[in-house]
Amino acid sequence: MNGMQRMTGLLVGAVFGAVFVIVNAHDPLHPVAGTLLKAAACLGAAGVVAMWFVSVRRNRPAEGPRRNMFGRGYAIVVAAEAILLFGGIRVLASWGRPAETNVAWVALVVGLHFIVLAPIWKEWGIAAPGTLLTVLGVAGLVLASTAAVGWVPFVSGVLSGVVLLSGSVALGWRDATGRTA
């Protein structure tokens, strides 16, 4: 994967991470905490957008053949992910599970998508956030069966968003500063 493909992947991760936080940072969190989390998520995503533009300006075509990260393997994983996401949410609804369970399911499926993409892209580093999202998704599914169901959006949504955003910011920063050093 070349530098621009990697930065584009980080950009996608940052945007989805921000969405996870913005959509899920609500009650039972204190409103001030929710607002601060949403603002931090927007700033983190904006930082990755800025790093992406810096990378575009500095990017030089790679020597030799380039591997397309959005090839057939990626398309198969994304198709399976869409089926699992939407099909799973329908199954959860038919079982009468609380609506909060949906965010846990999304975190689980998105986490598994990273784990499955790691060997396809030969980017083993994405398995770590994938594992964390998977664990946060499972934790939310378990939590949804308890009296603490209201905390599922925080555990599976906000924390998953923080994982995606912090990883995107850290790796984007490392890549951006590594090129200038």
Average pLDDT per block of 10 residues along the chain, 181 residues long: 79 95 97 98 96 80 62 92 96 96 97 95 91 98 96 98 95 74 43
Predicted local confidence at residue 43, as pLDDT? 97
What is the value of pTM for the model shown?
Answer: 0.89
Query: What residue spans define the domains of the chain?
Result: 3-180
Helices of type H across the chain: 3-24, 31-58, 72-94, 101-121, 127-143, 152, 159-180
Q: Supply the angle between the helices 159-180 and 3-24 in degrees, to the nearest 10.
A: 150
Residue with tokens 């169901």: 149
Q: How many CB atoms lie within 10 A of CB 92?
A: 18
pLDDT of residue 181: 43
